[in-house]
Amino acid sequence: NGESSLKPGKSFWGDVGIELRPLTIVFPEDVTFSPQDKTELALDQGTRENIENGLVEAELFIEVGNSMPIGATLNMLTSTSTFFPLCFDTLKTGLLDAQTVSDTCLTLIENNYSPDSIYVDQEDNGEVIYAEFINAADTVFIGKLLSLDLGIPKNLDENGFIIDKSITYNNMLLDTTRMKWLTSNELLYISPIINNVRTSIDTLPGYVTFHTIDYLQIRSFLTLIMDSQIITGEDADNNE
């Protein structure tokens, strides 16, 4: 370190290393994003009726393989609309002017729903699980099917690349409210919203690096325990 000068007719040599980082992504604490494509949920009438009348228990098993150097929370939402506001988790019951969301999100809600008021249902811990956007002509609902934590891979190499993916397993029972959403006669759409993005910055080298082959893999299995009498159409008295 310091200043130096080079005299005419003289020369110098040395090893010079240049580190280039052409792209840097800085995630704010409240970053939230969602894919543009939505999944359409369509059950035939017979399947709906069998589930509604004969369901005993529904359990969802989910395996998440995270091969990206970041962690996040995955929220799976369902709605009668194709628009899912990114500020869903910060909505509250009341008129539009009572909301404390960003101006951008509020404008998108107005443009897509035109609600006179919003009704929000929360868990005891304050987590939003259901919202209705109400006006004189229509009501649009959004329900949270599940919320999963995507573990942060911490096994990075000296360049910040992930070495092995992080795998987490989750089991959860779907209550009757969520099953009613899924078996509704209305056409529903499903979309993930990802928030609480974070990195393992405490792991050397202190930054993370993305590969073009990094991926997030989610496998899910839904197990339905049904009343056999509803499925077969047999009366209990006939089996005696």
| Residue pointed to by tokens 């989750």 | 170
Of 5-19, 41-55, 124-138, 203-217, give the range with the top mean pLDDT.
Answer: 124-138
**Both tokens of residue 188?**
């529903």
Angstrom distance (rounded) from CA 107 to CA 70: 30
Of 52-56, 126-130, 207-211, give the range with the top mean pLDDT.
Answer: 126-130
**Both tokens of residue 135?**
């006006």
Name the percent of the chain lying above pLDDT 70.
Answer: 81
- The closest of 128, 210, 219, 144 to 177, measured between CA atoms, is 144
**Both tokens of residue 113?**
């729903």
Residue 83, pLDDT > 90, answer yes
Q: What is the pLDDT of residues 158-190, one digit of tens each?
A: 777 888 888 888 888 888 888 888 888 888 898
Give the pLDDT score at 18.
Answer: 58
Angstrom distance (rounded) from CA 171 to CA 176: 16
Q: 210 or 145: whose pLDDT is higher?
A: 145
Give the pLDDT score at 232.
Answer: 66
Q: Which H helix or E strand runs over 141?
A: strand 139-150
Global model pTM greater than 0.75: no
The set of residues, in sequence order, having a beta carbon less than 8 Å from that of 171 and lying 6+ positions away, is 59, 60, 61, 62
Residue 112 phi/psi, 5° resolution?
Answer: -95, -30
Residue 202, pLDDT > 60, answer no
